[in-house]
Amino acid sequence: MINTVRRVLLLVAFSVIGLAGFYFLKNLDTSINIGNVKLKVMEKGVDVEIENFMITHENKGVKEWELKADLAQIDNQEDLTKLKNVEMTLHKGGSKQYVISADSGIYKKATEDVSLDGNVKLVGPAEGLKERLSITPKKSN
């Protein structure tokens, strides 16, 4: 009688362990939803794929720029992030800001360089751009 009870309890314990292992392995290779962000672990080339990607850069509590994308594929081996449907907002004090949008782009984390490709558009006040883009002739000696 005691051996029968032991066998049943051992069978129940193995069943619980097997069921827990099954659910763990079943959910191991799926997406994780964190609010409005969806993460997906990849196998080759890209380490992580993130939907609704966003990075904000602040300096002494002042927001300098924001980078948003519908999809980001992070490759840690090459230390870069490939972006799709990119929007970058540059804050230039007060209410001045520039919004740059593009079909795709690449963000290099180490240098914080962003390169944009395809239908690149810049929207913002013209005053700051006029100063930077004005051409002044060089003085000849």
pLDDT tens, position by position, 83-140:
899 998 888 766 678 888 999 998 887 887 888 899 888 888 777 666 656 656 555 5
Helix (H), strand (E) at residue 76: none
Determine the Cα–Cα distance for residues 91 and 102; give it in Å rounded to an integer: 18
Tell me, what's the pLDDT at 31?
A: 45
Q: Structure tokens of 114? A: 């962003």
Tell me, what's the pLDDT at 32?
A: 47
First CA to last CA across the chain, in angstroms? 110
- Cα separations in angstroms, 19 against 13, 15, 31, 86, 110: 10, 6, 21, 43, 43
**Can you give the pTM of this predicted structure?**
0.56
What is the tens place of the pLDDT at every residue in 64-83?
A: 888 888 988 888 778 888 88
- Dihedral (CA of 121, 126, 131, 133) sign: positive
Mean pLDDT of 33-40: 55
Residue 30 banded pLDDT, cuts 50, 70, 90: very low
Tell me, what's the pLDDT at 43?
A: 60
Tell me, what's the pLDDT at 6?
A: 84
Q: How many CB atoms lie within 10 A of CB 99?
A: 13
Q: Structure tokens of 48? A: 């992580």
Tell me, what's the pLDDT at 52?
A: 85
Task: Give the position of tokens 């290099």.
Answer: 108
